[in-house]
A and B are shown apart, each in its own frame.
Chain A
Amino acid sequence: MPDSHEALILIGRLMGLAVFFQSLEFIKMKESITETGIWRWSELRSDYLFMPDKMLKALDWLMTPKRFMEIMTLRFYTGLLAFLYPHFILIFIFLFLTTFLITLRWRGSFNGGSDYLTLIILLCLCVGFVHPLLGKAALWYLTLQVISSYFMAGLYKLKQKKWRDGTAVYGFVTSASYKTPLFIVEKCEDEAIAKFIAWSVILFELTFPLVLAHPYLTIFYLVAGLLFHLGNFLTFGLNRFFWVWSASYPALYYCSKLLR
């Protein structure tokens, strides 16, 4: 019987690393949250006027650029602590709350899916360390969320013609939003290659639930998943997805072992 505590500790370490990098990024972009930046609290607070006065005042106190950056600095060190000592539930409660603050600061999320999974993993760690049974439940919940993330993405791609005929791949790599390396753009100009990539991604994502089916398949899908996220980083610069999804993989490994 695999040990759920060991799996949670490994997830805690990897998550600590992910939060460490994320926090450093926030610290480096501090200018963007000042009152001359992009996300100005004096404007953003209008989204939260429905809250009771005390809650709004607490947010006003927490969200000033200086305080928010202090929180990010604390989050940075706490991420390091989580990597070194992933046994303390308080560390993960703090990381969960500060990640939640980030979602408030950026009206839902700063970095879409990676913020969502960060929150889910941290919540699972907060709950999972309370009791072994809760640990097991948390790992299963995390596993289902991660498998769903691939499966749903694959399903929605399959429904779109542009993905089925490969033009979506070409569209993404040549999009004015991304500065994709030239060798990738050149490869994707070939319709057959673009179609092959599109279908590889769709099939990989749709069949991801098979990660739980057999030990060899578990290894195959986790390695393929890492390569997939590395590819997404190389093409679109999505570095956070690589770290956060990798941090969740021990849960998948644990659950697949449990089924044997």
Chain B
Amino acid sequence: MNTLIIILCVLLYFVLLVAFSLFKKTSQGIENKYINLIKPLIPSWKFYDDFEETRLLFFRSKISDEETFSEWAPLYQTPTPTLPALFINNQGNLILAAQSHIQTLIHDICEHNDETAFQDTLTYKITKNLVSYALRKKYTKAFIYQFKLASVSVKAEIMEDILVSPLYEEEESHA
């Protein structure tokens, strides 16, 4: 009898999940900052919920004003998985974290109001850090760079620019 009740409860739970997934989201959800802190404990498990388009960060750079910019290139690409990476994959996970950040960036661009400049938002600052951090590995001297967020086709061709940064100059690293 107990087993039957448990099975019915489990069935009911999944029927409810399907039923709720049929409704379109009409509200912004709960916007309490304290509740947001515990959101990771109540995940929605909506992996790949937003797969209509792929958005990627691109960059172009040069080392002096006289030079012309390089072509726009994708900022990150996860390394090809190897057996040791099944255990330790710091570079791959750093890039996956960067990709998660792009989801936040897209969300914040959509939600942004004009009261503050978007470049002053934390999300934008982290995006800029992501780019300069990656490029500092490439250049030992000072360099000029620009980045953009763009939607891309299945074949990774740029379709539409969503955000284009101004030019930035990164000083020579003394590390």
Contact = CB atoms under 8 A, between A and B. Distances in A.
Interface stretch (A6-14, A81-89, A156-164): A156-164
Given A152-B17, A209-B14, A237-B92, A43 B76 contact: no
A177 B154 contact: no
A211 to B, nearest CB: 11
B3 interface: yes
B25 interface: no
Number of chain A interface residues as a range: 35 or more
A98 interface: no
Interface string A193-219: 000000000000000010010000000
Main secondary structure of the interface of B (DSSP, over half): helix
B140 interface: no
A74 interface: no
A234 interface: yes
A122 B152 CA distance: 38
B100 A157 contact: no
A156 B14 CA distance: 14
Given A50-B33, A111-B100, A160-B51, 16 more contacts: A29-B94, A43-B122, A107-B104, A111-B96, A117-B43, A149-B45, A153-B45, A156-B46, A163-B48, A163-B51, A174-B155, A175-B54, A209-B14, A237-B92, A239-B86, A239-B89
12 contacts: A43-B122, A152-B47, A155-B18, A160-B48, A171-B54, A179-B80, A233-B85, A236-B78, A236-B81, A239-B81, A239-B85, A239-B93
Interface of B: 3, 6-7, 10, 13-14, 17-18, 21, 33, 36-37, 39-41, 43-49, 51-52, 54, 56, 74, 76-81, 85-100, 104, 122, 125-126, 129-130, 133, 152, 154-156, 175
Interface of A: 21, 24-26, 28-29, 32, 36-40, 43-44, 46-47, 50, 100, 103-104, 106-113, 115-117, 119-120, 123, 144-145, 147-149, 151-153, 155-157, 159-160, 162-163, 167-168, 170-171, 174-181, 209, 212, 233-240, 242, 258-260
